[in-house]
Amino acid sequence: MNAVTLAGLAGAALIGMGLFGLVTHSHILRKIVAFNVIGSGVFLLFGAVARRGAASGLNADPVPQALVITGIVVAFSATALAVALLLRYFKEVGSPFLADDPGAGASQPDHERP
Amino acid sequence: MTLSFGFDLSLAVLTLAVAGYAIGARESFASVVAFISYGVLLALVWVRLSAVDVALTEAAIGSGVTGALLIGAAAKVGEGAVDAPRSVRGAGRLLTALFCIATTLGIATAFLSLPEKAPTLAPLAAEHLPSTGLGNPVTAVLLSYRAIDTLLESVVLVFAVVGVWTFASDRDWGGRPESPGKDRPEQPLTFLGQILPPLGILVGVHLVWTGATEPGGAFQGGTVLAAAWILVMAAGLRKPPSIEGAWLRFALIGGPALFLGVGVAGFALAKAFLAYPEGHSKAFILVIEAALTFSIAIALGLLALGAPGRKGHP
């Protein structure tokens, strides 16, 4: 067991924890945070897998590092988009929660076809 | 058990514990604060993996700018009403937990059963490093070998800004995003807003300049510049820009446009898209990085500010 193996296992644990938060929370912001935890877990796992390929006098393989840097920036862009969507949803609906389930609106009359 | 392994183990446990708190905290504000601390701890893990470039990016973007964005959102939406739909409870929660544990175990097993000899492109990257005139192989990958990825990435940032702006109401279009700070900022914040930005600009430019040979680069430097800009606005020293400003839009697309221009010029100068003329790679890369840094700083700042709102209407 060394730092690399430890980081890989931590990455796996982070993915599981993030997945749990994403599914169980109904507050949208909590879902966004959980999704980011999954994302960073995936990056960490990837980094740990890539670290095994470190060779030729370099400390670490530069190709996967560049990929992760790109990934972090794109993940931030996606998060910014998600937050903007949340804020607009909050402005329209007045609540940071998603509706419980699609069946919850069943009491309202459906638009019937003529 | 050696000392360094003890350190790695405690760091991993601490990182997981803070991440667990970010997931399980009762309030969304506490969750966001935990997420920011988690990002900083994760950056330390990246340092331990000898990936200092990634560590800088994670600390600056993954923790810093994302944190600023999430804190702002948490302050605006709050915790929600008491009669809100409950999160998943009871048997469903248990089932979800079991499924997530299974996912983790599956990934961990796959990770542990990887073949001993890992495939790598590192020797190839090291071999051609002198031809780029750079000393940092990560920068060489980002701006020379795989420059097209970085070009597309910078375009993604522009699209994200456009996407965020589309969430503005019709009547707010052309206005300013809300200021990230309070209407009347406290004096210490104003003080910091005056003291820190010059330092931030210095650190940002330094990160880009040393990125050629040492860890650092356009994205890390650009983030520090964006942070300085956000601080100035949060301290109330400058208003957020109107999204209709022509200079703002030029600054936003300037970096990617120059990058694309150099890429097309590569057809004439070096017979391929995004190829640099022999012996002049470093000069080209530095010019691209300088323009890119500025555009990245503008894009990140705008993403953190969000869509234009009524409060900030001129």
User: The domain spanning residue A93 has which CATH number?
Assistant: 1.10.287.3510
Nearest to B57 among A10, A69, A90 (CB): A69
Nearest to B35 among A5, A33, A61 (CB): A33
Which domain, by its residues, includes A41? 3-99
- Say yes or no for a CB contact (<8 Å) between B111 and A8: yes
Note whether residue A67 is domain-resident: yes
- How far apart are the C-alpha atoms of B54 and B148, rounded to whole Å? 19
Nearest to A95 among B80, B105, B138 (CB): B80
Residues of chain B with CATH 1.20.120.1200: 1-79
* ipTM score for this prediction: 0.89
- Say yes or no for a CB contact (<8 Å) between B307 and A87: yes
Contacts of B87 in chain A (CB under 8 A): 24-27
Using CA atoms, how far residue B182 sits from B78, B196, B258, B269, in Å, is 16, 19, 37, 52
Confidence of residue B313 (pLDDT cuts 50, 70, 90): very low
What's the token pair of residue A25? 């929370």
SS3 (DSSP) at B268: helix
Question: Are B302 and B166 in contact, with CB atoms under 8 Å apart?
Answer: no
CATH number corresponding to B1-79:
1.20.120.1200
Nearest CA in chain B to A90: B77
Nearest CA in chain A to B62: A72
Note the pLDDT of residue B187. Answer: 86
Across B244-269, average pLDDT: 90
Beta bridge partner(s), residue A27 = A97
Nearest to A65 among B51, B119, B306 (CB): B51
Contacts of A19 in chain B (CB under 8 A): 99-100, 103
Contacts of B97 in chain A (CB under 8 A): 20
Note the pLDDT of residue B213. Answer: 80
Note whether residue A114 is domain-resident: no
- Scan residues 100-119 of B and list those with Cβ closer than 8 Å to A: 100-101, 103-105, 107-108, 111-112, 114, 118-119
The 10s digit of each residue's pLDDT in B185-211 is 788 888 998 999 999 999 999 999 888
Size of interface A-B (CB pairs under 8 A): 286
Note the pLDDT of residue A65. Answer: 87
SS3 (DSSP) at A81: helix
Q: Is B174 left (phi over 0), alpha (psi -120 to 50) or beta?
A: left
Note the pLDDT of residue B295. Answer: 94
Note the pLDDT of residue B144. Answer: 81
The 10s digit of each residue's pLDDT in B150-178 is 899 999 999 999 999 998 888 888 888 88
Question: Are B286 and B295 in contact, with CB atoms under 8 Å apart?
Answer: no
Note the pLDDT of residue B4. Answer: 86
Q: What percent of chain B has pLDDT over 70?
A: 95
Contacts of A13 in chain B (CB under 8 A): 16, 104, 108
Note whether residue A104 is domain-resident: no
Residue ranges, chain A, pLDDT below 50: 55, 103-114
Q: Among A95-99, B18-22, B82-86, B279-283, which is the least confidently predicted range?
A: B82-86
Contacts of A83 in chain B (CB under 8 A): 69-70, 72-73, 306
Note the pLDDT of residue B205. Answer: 92
Note whether residue A7 is domain-resident: yes
Higher-confidence position of B204 and B270: B204
Q: Where are the extended beta strands (E) located within chain B?
A: none
What is the domain count for chain A? Answer: 1
Q: In 10 A of CB B93, how many CB atoms?
A: 14
Residue whose C-alpha is closest to residue A67's, from B141, B77, B55, B229: B141
- Say yes or no for a CB contact (<8 Å) between A19 and B78: no
Provide Rg for chain B, Cα atoms: 22
- How far apart are the C-alpha atoms of A61 and B54, rounded to whole Å? 12
Across B83-105, average pLDDT: 83
Across B242-265, average pLDDT: 91
| pLDDT exceeds cutoff 60 at B314 | no
Note whether residue A107 is domain-resident: no
Note the pLDDT of residue B139. Answer: 84
> Chain B closest CA to A92's CA: distance in Å?
10
Note whether residue A91 is domain-resident: yes
Instruction: Note whether B69 contacts A: Cβ–Cβ < 8 A.
Output: yes
What integer best gives the mean pLDDT of chain B? Answer: 87
Higher-confidence position of B4 and B86: B4
Q: Among A25-29, B81-85, B104-108, B145-149, which is the least confidently predicted range?
A: B81-85
Determine the residue among A5, A35, A49, A63 to mutate to test chain B binding: the one whose Cβ has the most chain B Cβ atoms within 10 Å.
A63
